Amino acid sequence: MKVRPCALIWQQTASNVEVLFMRYSYGGHDVFALPGGSPDRNETLPETIVREVQEELGVSVDVGEMILAGEMLLSQRNDDVLHVVFAGRNLQGIPVLNPIETTALELVWKPVSELHGLNLYPNVGKQLQAWFESAVDLGYVGRIEQQYFG
């Protein structure tokens, strides 16, 4: 099983709270991923997030509390992944995609109210909406049901 830490980075606008996603296209579908990636050897999960956000988006972020963790078991590809979502706070700079470091097509800010209806990777939109409503860390959420986008 691989481990993929990622950051939930958000901003308050005049009308709502928006979350930063990287947009990909798989099998003709838009898929939105939280910034993150695979740890290098001897790297902690927060260190991975700091590095990945710097490499892929050119910004820095403070890694806060762990919001949730859950497994995604993709029998189609045998890619079992433990996703760990951390709060990304104090964003420094303006995020811009670095095409050398990512295959994402663009960065998008999505309102929290839309998270449940997006194709997310990992598929935790409902859980993230609940976190924003309660501000209570969700801990282990179990199996993450993920649609496969070939």
Mean pLDDT of the chain: 91
The CATH superfamily of 2-143 is Nucleoside Triphosphate Pyrophosphohydrolase (3.90.79.10)
Residue 144 β-bridge partners: none
Task: Compute the distance between CA of residue 32 and CA of residue 46 in angstroms, rounded to an integer.
Answer: 21
- For position 150, what pLDDT does the model report? 55
Task: Compute the distance between CA of residue 71 and CA of residue 81 in angstroms, rounded to an integer.
Answer: 6
Share of the chain above pLDDT 70, in %: 94
Residue 83 β-bridge partners: 4, 70
pTM of the model: 0.91
- For position 75, what pLDDT does the model report? 62
- For position 76, what pLDDT does the model report? 62
More confident residue, 52 or 73: 52
pLDDT tens digit sequence for 56-106: 999 999 999 999 999 988 766 667 889 999 999 999 999 999 999 999 999
